[in-house]
Amino acid sequence: MQKLHPKAVWLFFFRFLGIGFALLIVLGWIGATALVEFMMKGFGQIALVLGLFFVVWILFSSIGAKLSYNVYKYELAENAFKKEHGVIQKRYVSIPYERIQNVDIHRGILARILGLSDLMIQTAGYTGGGRGVGREPEGRLPGISREVAEQLREELITKAKGVKQGL
């Protein structure tokens, strides 16, 4: 199985930072009264707590990004596209070539800065993995190089057409 581009670890890192930011907002809302109490005691304690939080936030984001990158693998097998990913909950996806309807390449701003692409393999009848219709294709490959994305798109389209035409 092949791995994503090494720069993909940055995509995972920023995703974890975003999750941490959302957690910070929720915890901030819940802990607003505790923050007011800290403020009464002095600014030094607030700075220490916030500094410690940011260090832990960056550390967990780094570890989570590296682990996510290391377990994300894919391959073009004989009869299907296969990928596996997930640190805590492993997912194994196998998409038979005859189910492939469309293959898109997406390049968000961060991916473009890093010179990366996301390959989106859309299949017939997929509903987004229970997270809502059209949310994310089951065959999404984040963080592959532009050249590899274009090569994989061509190979997948060729294999899908070949299977549908009986070749």
Per-residue pLDDT of 27-83, as tens digits, reads 666 566 566 666 666 656 666 777 777 888 899 999 999 999 999 999 999 999 999
Q: With bands split at pLDDT 50, 70 and 90, how would you rate the model's confidence at 23?
A: confident
- pLDDT for residue 77: 93
- Using CA atoms, how far residue 52 sits from 7, 22, 87, 123, 153, in Å, is 27, 17, 25, 45, 44
Which of 48, 45, 26 minimizes the C-alpha distance to 36? Answer: 45
- pLDDT for residue 75: 95
Can you tell me the distance from the alpha carbon of 93 to that of 51, in angstroms, rounded to the nearest whole number? 40
Instruction: Name the phi and psi angles at 5, rounded to 5.
Output: -60, 140
DSSP assignments along 22-76, one per residue: HHHHHHHHHTHHHHHHHHHH-HHHHHHHHHHHHHHHHHHHHHHHHHHHHH-EEEE
- pLDDT for residue 132: 47
pLDDT tens for residues 130-142? Answer: 444 446 678 899 9
**Domains of the chain, residue spans:** 2-70, 74-164
Question: Residue 72: which residues within 8 A CB-CB, separation 6 or more?
Answer: 3, 4, 8, 83, 84, 85, 142, 143
Yes or no: say if 150 and 105 are a contact pair by the CB < 8 Å rule: yes
- pLDDT for residue 43: 58
| 74-164 belongs to CATH 2.30.29 | yes
